[in-house]
Amino acid sequence: MRESRLFQILYHLLQHGQATAPKLAEKLEVSVRTIYRDIDALSSAGIPVFTEAGRNGGIHIMEDFVLDRALLSRQEKQEILSALQSLAAVGHDFELGILEKLSGLFQVSSENWFEVDFSRWWEPKRQNNTFSLLKSAILQCKCVKIHYANSCGVLSERIVQPLKLAYKGSAWYLKAYCTMQEGYRIFKLNRILELEPLEEHFEPRSFPEAEESSDAVCTQIVLRFPKELAYRVYDEFDRNYVTQEENGKLLVSAYMPADPWLVSFLLSFGPQVDVIAPAYLKEILAKQGKLIYEKFKA
């Protein structure tokens, strides 16, 4: 227990540079006297920690002190290497170089127990390259020009300031500031048809997470599927949105964007989906189904 507490004190000092004994005591739920005993133990072990009195005093650690590799457990070392493996999966030599150096420093083999691939099964790894270019642009605060297809099928050229890559709902998204719309937007990586890195820099800023900017207005959609389609229902919807009826059919109630994407999404189920609500979706699907029939009938 004490060993764990000593590491927590050390890591806190490494992260913040200094702390007060009362704050550490509150954080670790021990007495101030215990904290001072722990500081003495760290100092006796060769860790350059010291205390200063006065208004700006407290417990400090020597500036530029580097944590020795021996203080990391084998599991902690492996977790660091695993995190770098996930970045190296996009094919960047930069991460691969760090991975090799740390493997040698830690004297731990980099066990490749997982694989990350952003591409679809049936296409080349184009999205891997898109991901890599956007990552570089984000880290270097450089604008990019994109050709984008929105959910309504409208193609546009935009210059954006890329701020963050996000993974949500089995897809990657770019959170960015769009100079054309003069606002924050979210772009799905699959819909970025072309990407050109620019030399123009921008000031670092944070994406306003509370806004979660989106063009779509969500509507409650209620659907019913046969039990034979369970594999796809659970692929597309969270289990909390799915209710199994007595006859085995699956009832789905979820809020989704009421746009052309939703129509094409529902059409992909063919006759195996019943639209319970809203009623107007039935009419739209019926019209689209008729158009499809007229186009492909013999």
Q: What is the pLDDT of residues 28-54, one digit of tens each?
A: 889 989 988 888 888 877 778 888 877
- Among 105-114, 145-154, 241-250, name the one with the lowest average pLDDT: 105-114
Q: What secondary structure letter does DSSP report for 17?
A: S
> 65: phi > 0 → left, psi -120 to 50 → alpha, else beta; which?
beta
Note the pLDDT of residue 144: 96
Note the pLDDT of residue 264: 86
Whose CA is closest to 164, among 181, 185, 192, 190?
A: 185
Residue 114: is its pLDDT beyond 70? no
Provide the 10 A C-beta neighbour count for residue 86.
12
CA distance 184 to 213: 6
Note the pLDDT of residue 109: 58
CA distance 266 to 251: 14
**How many helical (H) and strand (E) elements, i.e. helices and strands, does the chain have?**
9, 12
Q: Which two tokens stand for residue 33?
A: 């006297």
Q: Which two tokens stand for residue 238?
A: 């969270």
From edge to edge, which strands make up the β-sheet containing 58-61?
18-19, 58-61, 49-52
Whose CA is closest to 49, among 23, 19, 70?
A: 19
Q: Which residues does residue 219 pair with via DSSP β-bridges, in sequence order?
A: 256
Average pLDDT over residues 107-129: 59
Indicate the pLDDT class of residue 213, thresholds 50, 70 and 90: very low
Residue 142: is its pLDDT beyond 90? yes
What is the torsional sign of CA 89, 93, 95, 101? positive
Q: What is the mean pLDDT of the chain?
A: 79
Average pLDDT over residues 180-198: 90
3-class DSSP assignment, residue 257: strand
The H or E element that residue 225 is part of is: strand 218-225
Residue 197: is its pLDDT beyond 90? yes
Give per-residue pLDDT as tens, 231-251: 999 888 888 899 999 999 999
Residues in the chain, overall count = 298
The 10 Å CB-count burial string (b at 16+, else e) for 7-46 is eebbebbeeeebbebebbbeebebeeebbeebbebbeeee
3-class DSSP assignment, residue 116: coil
User: Contact 256/236 with Cβ under 8 angstroms?
Assistant: no
Give per-residue pLDDT as tens, 72-94: 666 666 666 665 565 555 545 44
Provide the 10 A C-beta neighbour count for residue 226.
15
Average pLDDT over residues 250-264: 86
Crossing angle of helices 260-267 and 279-296, rounded to 10°: 60
Strands 58-61 and 218-225: unpaired
Average pLDDT over residues 189-209: 89
